[in-house]
Amino acid sequence: MKIKDKLKDEEIYNSLGKKKLNELIFSLGDETKFLDQHLKLFYDDDHLNKINRDLRRLDRLQGNNFIPSEEDGRDLVNGLLQRRREADKFNVYLFIEKLSDNRSDSSFLRFLANYVFKNKYGMFHVGLEIDGIVLEWGTGDAGPHLIYPRINTNKIYEKIAHIRINYDSNFSQEFNHSTNTFLQDWQHYMQNLFSTIINFMRMLLYFVLKIGVVPSNKLQIIAQKCVYWNRNYYYDPLNRNCQHFINEILETLNLKFNPKGEFKKFLDRIVQYADDRYLFQRREFLSRQDLDQFADQNWNMITNSWDKRLLLCYSDMMNNMYEYKYDEKWGPMNNKEKWIEREYELRTD
C-alpha cells in the first residue's frame, strides 16, 4: 500500500492498466521480483559460444596428440587472455548530472551544498549504472520516492561525468591471480599446455554462466537495499537524497570510491565550479585526437593509477558523446583495442 501511495501522483499510475500496475507495485516491493524483473543481467550467447568452440577445438587437438610449437602456445595464451577480458562484464559506473532549473550552475547553491550540507557531490544528482541499468533515487519514471531501475540511454549523454568503479568478484580475483601466475611463465607448461588452458577455459565457462545470473550475489544485495528504501523511505532533499542512497549502495557492496591525484581535481572542479572540461596536468583535451595522442605518448610514464583512471573516464565520456550525440569532435577513438588493454590493466592491477 505504501508503494501504491507513492505512485498515485505519478504519470505512470494512470498510464498502466490495473494488472500491469499491480505487477509494477509488487516488483518494486518484493526482493525476488525486483531482482528478476529489473536487475537480471545476461551475457551474450555469442561469448558462451566462443568459449565452447575454443574448448571443442582444444579437445580435438589434444585428442590428436598435437604438439604445439612456442608460436602455437603464444596463440593459445592470447586466446585465453581475450576470453578472460570478454568475461569480465559486471561494470559499475557512477554518473553525475546537473539538476534541473540551472540549480547546479548557481555558485551560491553549490556553496550551500558543499560547505553547509556537506554533500559529497555538491549540488548535483548522482546515480549508478550497472551494465546499462540505471539505479537512482529522487527522480525517475516512478517518481522521487521509488527506485525503479530502467535501461535509459538518455542518461549516457546527459551526464556531466560517467565514472567506472572497479569491481571484481571473489571468483574473478582468484581466476585472474591463477591465470596471471600461469601467463608469467607459460613456456614451462608446454608439455601440459592443452590440459592447463582447457582447465582455465572450463573455469571461465562456469564463471560466465554463474555471473550472468547473479554476479557474486551482489545483485541480490542491491535488490534488498532498493526494496527496503522503496518500502520504508521517502525522498528528502536534505536528509535522504540521491547522494545518501548511492553512498549506502556503494558501502553495502564494499565498493570504495575515493579518487586521488588528477581524478580528485576533476571531481573537485565539477562539484565546486560545475567545470566539466577535459583537463589533465594543466592541459585541456579539445578533441578525441588530443586524448589519443597524449595517451599513446605518455601512458606508460604515468605512475598514479587514479591519473590513468581519469584518462579512461575521459575516453568513455568522449565515446558516449560521439556515439549518442554524433559529435565527430569526440570520435571515433584511434585504437579501440589499446584502450581496452588500458582498462583491463587497471581492473586487474
DSSP string across 97-142: EEPGGGGGG-HHHHHIIIIIS--TT-SEEEEEEETTEEE-SS-STT
> Domain boundaries in the chain?
1-43+89-257, 267-348
C-alpha cell belonging to residue 185: 611463465
Residue 124 grid coordinates: 548535483
**∠ Cα 148 152 153 (to 5°):** 170
What integer best gives the mean pLDDT of the chain?
83
Confidence label for 278 from pLDDT (cuts 50, 70 and 90): very high
Q: Of 58-72, 174-188, 216-230, 260-274, give the lowest mean pLDDT range.
A: 174-188
| pLDDT of residue 349 exceeding 50 | no
Rounded CA separation 209/175 (Å): 15
How far is the C-alpha of 345 from the C-alpha of 349, rounded, in Å?
6
- For residues 51 and 79, what is the distance between their CA atoms, to the nearest angstrom? 10
**Model confidence over 236-246: pLDDT tens digits?**
988 999 999 99
3-state secondary structure (DSSP) of residue 283: strand
What is the distance between the alpha carbons of residues 22 and 28, in angstroms, rounded to a whole number? Answer: 10
Report how far apart, in Å, the C-alpha atoms of 302 and of each of 217, 289, 294, 309, 343 are.
35, 19, 11, 11, 14
Note the pTM of the prediction, 2 decimals: 0.72
Q: Which helix (H) or strand (E) holds 150?
A: strand 150-151
Mean pLDDT: which of 41-45, 64-68, 203-207, 252-256 is highest? 64-68
CA distances from residue 43 to 82, 230, 268 in whole angstroms, order as listed: 16, 28, 36
> What is the tens place of the pLDDT at every residue in 97-128?
888 788 888 998 888 888 888 888 888 899 98
Q: Given this model, what pLDDT does residue 277 score?
A: 93
